């Protein structure tokens, strides 16, 4: 499959005519796509196209913009199977999750389309006669969107649909690991009727293309999802430029399991949270904080269940856990497993890179469980982003909450308990942007804001609801209209 950049409504090669390969992580002998290795000149063209298209797009009534997103949602429904299979081929997650990735994009398309008729401001009384006060939303302008590989359809959809409904134009740089998924989404939006220049896509490396794009003088705002190191670098660069930036970065998410929990239910939640998407989610459950009374019992349950998960190509129905996305991630996870062993944690299952089906051409790592992990170990503090989970013992709820909170991140957390008072205290005291009760750390819904605290993000959430993406992709303008025919002085003229 040959991918091109999408600039000004046209699919074009990079100016330098260079390309790179996107490989299937389940079998790197298979090339999913050839994509353009763009340079700064390509970014200039894309930003220029977005700037030229802004004047008309921002003045199109928001309900009309919403109609385009409604059409995109319908096209995504029609293409769901094809795009879901492409997600699995290019990123590696099992097909059910690949289809779920596309379903998030479908849900977001319809949700944000509806927001075209709900772009609320407010009208409030003035303190003076014959005067009124109102506020309304306006777009930021040209928005640069940098997206990761782990949700190659859903996360771009979160950002693109939110930005477009608010009247912004977009330059989109997808992950170099998933350019084919990005191109499939852009093609659907083109088919839905997005005008030329409103949405542009430039493929290439973060170092050569991404940083140049986000600091481009004609870009007005940036939304980034990716690593903490990259996001915090952008915060430094763009802070000096006074350029609005939304970041969604890492997590070191934990599930608390109290002694009164339904252990079978908790086990399902941990398996899903720790090993879904091979642990390659910002909300993955990489820590499990277990009450001392059930510590040994639950540790044995988890080790046995994890050992029974089946590795393989995500397109095969028998597969439970797919590969890591690339060699760099594969080596990083194996390095962390060795760190855990060196720190003195007890490896009870997994821990190895393995071949699948007699092939050594995929990036597969066994679901891995460490027990007897202390809260200060690196494997309990640092984001691994792979199928590795650490079990930590606690004596009571207070200690469990302290353990969960005592990391640099604050994205997602969960608690399993039958006691309503216990769960109420946890949801109050856990310092994460998302809290689940008797559910895993993954499974956010698009009608609520999605984002973390501290090193997990900048505090500008994705997705919908009050405080969600619309509050980043638009800004409020306040208008005071005085029809008294005379000068009135607020706070003075009573």
pLDDT tens per residue across span 73-91: 999 999 999 999 999 999 9
Write out the residue limits of the CATH 3.40.309.10 domain(s) in the chain. 253-437
Tens digit of each residue's pLDDT (9 = 90 or more) over 363-381:
999 999 999 999 999 999 9
Supply the mean pLDDT for the chain.
Answer: 95
**Averaged pLDDT, 204-209:** 90
Answer yes or no: is pLDDT of 359 > 80: no
Answer yes or no: is pLDDT of 389 > 80: yes
Write out the residue limits of the CATH 3.40.605.10 domain(s) in the chain. 5-249+457-479
**Residue 50 three-state SS:** helix
Global pTM reads 0.95
Tens digit of each residue's pLDDT (9 = 90 or more) over 395-447:
999 999 999 999 999 999 999 999 999 999 999 999 999 999 999 999 999 99
* pLDDT the model gives residue 355: 86
The residues assigned a catalytic role are 248, 282
Q: Which of 200, 84, 61 is nearest to 142 (CA)?
A: 200
Q: Which of 363, 413, 368 is nearest to 388 (CA)?
A: 368
- Superfamily per CATH, domain 5-249+457-479: Aldehyde Dehydrogenase; Chain A, domain 1 (3.40.605.10)
Tell which wins on pLDDT, 208 or 376.
376
333 Cβ partners below 8 Å, 6+ apart? 279, 324, 365, 384, 385, 386, 387, 388
Find the angle CA(289)-CA(294)-CA(299) to the nearest 5 degrees. Answer: 65
List strand residue ranges (DSSP E) for 357-473, in order.
359-365, 368-371, 388-394, 409-410, 412-416, 434-437, 449-450, 453-454, 462-463
CATH architecture of 253-437: 3-Layer(aba) Sandwich (3.40)
Tens digit of each residue's pLDDT (9 = 90 or more) over 105-130:
999 999 999 999 999 899 999 999 99
* pLDDT the model gives residue 207: 85
Tell which wins on pLDDT, 84 or 239.
84
């Amino acid at each position: 499959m040959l991918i091109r950049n999408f600039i000004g409504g046209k699919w074009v090669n990079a100016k330098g005519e260079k390309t790179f390969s996107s490989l299937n992580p389940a079998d790197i002998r298979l090339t999913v796509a050839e994509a353009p290795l763009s340079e700064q000149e390509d970014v200039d063209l894309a930003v220029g196209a977005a700037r030229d298209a802004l004047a008309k797009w921002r003045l199109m009534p928001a309900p009309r913009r919403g109609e385009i997103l409604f059409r995109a949602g319908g096209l995504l429904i029609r293409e769901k199977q094809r795009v879901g299979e492409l997600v699995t081929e290019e990123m590696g997650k099992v097909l059910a999750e690949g289809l779920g990735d596309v379903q998030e994009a479908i849900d977001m398309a319809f949700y944000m389309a509806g927001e075209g008729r709900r772009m609320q401001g407010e009208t409030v009384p003035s303190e003076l006669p014959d005067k009124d006060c109102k506020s309304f939303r306006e777009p930021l302008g040209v928005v640069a969107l940098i997206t990761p590989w782990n949700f190659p359809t859903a996360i771009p959809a979160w950002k693109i649909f939110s930005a477009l409904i608010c009247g912004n134009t977009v330059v989109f740089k997808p992950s170099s690991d998933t350019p084919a998924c990005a191109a499939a989404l852009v093609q659907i939006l083109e088919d839905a009727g997005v005008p030329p220049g409103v949405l542009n896509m430039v493929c290439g490396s973060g170092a050569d293309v991404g940083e140049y794009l986000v600091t481009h003088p004609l870009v007005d705002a940036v939304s980034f999802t990716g690593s903490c190191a990259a996001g915090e670098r952008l915060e430094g660069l763009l802070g000096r430029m006074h350029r609005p930036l939304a970041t969604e970065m890492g997590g070191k998410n934990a599930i608390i399991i109290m002694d009164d929990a339904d252990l079978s239910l908790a086990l399902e939640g941990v398996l899903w949270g720790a090993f879904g998407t091979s642990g390659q989610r910002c909300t993955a459950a990489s820590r499990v904080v277990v009450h001392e009374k059930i510590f040994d019992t639950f540790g044995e349950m988890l080790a046995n269940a994890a050992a029974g998960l089946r590795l393989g190509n995500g397109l095969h129905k028998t597969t439970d856990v797919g590969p890591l996305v690339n060699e760099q991630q594969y080596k990083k996870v194996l390095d962390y497993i060795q760190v855990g062993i060196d720190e003195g944690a007890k490896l009870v299952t997994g821990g190895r890179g393995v071949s699948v089906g007699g092939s050594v051409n995929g990036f597969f790592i066994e679901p891995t469980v460490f027990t007897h992990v202390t809260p200060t170990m690196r494997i309990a503090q640092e984001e691994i982003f792979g199928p590795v989970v650490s079990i930590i013992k606690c004596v009571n709820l207070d200690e469990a909450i302290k353990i969960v909170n005592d990391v640099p991140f604050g994205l997602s957390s969960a608690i399993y308990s039958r006691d309503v008072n216990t769960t109420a205290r946890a949801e109050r005291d856990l310092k994460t942007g998302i809290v689940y009760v008797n559910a895993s750390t993954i499974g956010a819904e698009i009608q609520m804001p999605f984002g973390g605290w501290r090193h997990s993000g900048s505090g500008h959430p994705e997705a919908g609801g009050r405080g969600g993406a619309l509050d980043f992709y638009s800004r409020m303008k306040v208008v005071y209209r005085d029809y008294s025919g005379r000068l009135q002085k607020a706070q003075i003229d009573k």
